[in-house]
A = this chain, B = another copy of it.
């Protein structure tokens, strides 16, 4: 092929075509269109605007969460605290107060529904991942001690929370919420442990293989399952008309049976298919995603929360199968680093720290933190001692179980959505989640000093 000839052909072609287009345009300009004067596109103006705002909000959220997460990682704290704080700082508690104009520009009311749905989908996918990582073998091997410790660590704060509710209900609840709903919710909000944050703290400190580490992990896993069952129950009580509670509970039981009798064998079959390379990885991925969305939809319709279905689908996939590893690899970073920050910021946008003002409110807030910590630590410490752990081990387990993090925020958002928690109580419980999560690492360090490998 001749270089010169190619260049000539090309130049001629370009010149010719530009000339032709101008001829066409010259003639066409005199034409008159008969169509309506209004443009056809409905999304012409609003569609682009929404996209711009959503993109802007996403960028700000992802960068802020990452930056504050890095700061807390550098402080030897779990980065999740930084992401939670980033959310609160971007909300009405700081940005909205200091720079209302900027806040309205970055998070105008028209992006809030998108952030809401994105954060909910993110949490659904995250709960699926939590279920996927749940080592059901861990639950079965060492059932007794962890179950006792874990359930003690749920019951103690739950009962203390319900008792506290006696004092909080008259002043801080809506008349539409019955005391039973209120007390159940306060109880659940007190008794959540964040399995992923706990696992992260143990890994950061090289303790995940130690005796305390494995016991704490098993306890937290039992805690997770129990807390989600409890939440599902509480939500069904809070949502349903009294006469519908039994229908909800019946449907929930039926759903769980379907999952374990029909979906679990299907999951095992799929795992086998993929392990023997008889199904493309992408197809498996789509099937798993469709199943988890469907399960989330089913539990949402039943009246317990969408999270519950996604979590169960994660549970029935064996956590060490190549399918689980493949799906986790494909979802984890996008969910943890892109979607969860949206959840934190969405939570932060709803957290009005300003509502906690005056000495009485701060006293309530301090009481909530004290009751939550005392119940969680006390319950697990006593149970751990009774089941044979040493003082130091029992104390470490108790401190670890007091980690709340993300899971607590999920429960609180459900409570706010249901109208059971008032915005002021919501803000107090968010502060409680922050303080208990933040306190875990330094206190653990003090108790186990010199007994664990360097981080």
Contact = CB atoms under 8 A, between A and B. Distances in A.
A44 B418 contact: yes
Given A36-B175, A175-B36, A145 B6 contact: yes
Contact of A300 (B20, B48, B144): B48
A316 interface: no
B28 A166 contact: yes
A242 interface: no
Given A169-B28, A179-B28, A62 B290 contact: yes
A296 interface: yes
B114 A117 contact: yes
Contact of A169 (B33, B58, B177): B33
Contacts of A52: 297, 300-301, 306
A209 interface: no
B180 A25 contact: yes
User: Majority SS of interface residues in chain A?
Assistant: helix
A144 B114 contact: no
Interface string A399-443: 000000000000000001111111100000000000000000000
Interface stretch (A147-155, A270-278, A445-453): A147-155
Nearest to A176: B39
Nearest to A36: B174
A286 interface: yes
A13 interface: yes
A25 B181 CA distance: 10
A144 B33 contact: no
Contacts of A56: 297
A418 B170 contact: no
Given A39-B176, A281-B333, A165 B62 contact: no
A51 interface: yes
A33 B173 contact: yes
A54 interface: yes
Interface in A368-391: 383, 386-388
23 contacts: A1-B144, A6-B144, A6-B145, A7-B144, A9-B148, A13-B148, A17-B155, A20-B162, A25-B179, A28-B166, A31-B179, A33-B182, A34-B175, A36-B175, A37-B175, A39-B418, A40-B421, A50-B116, A50-B117, A51-B117, A55-B306, A59-B294, A282-B333
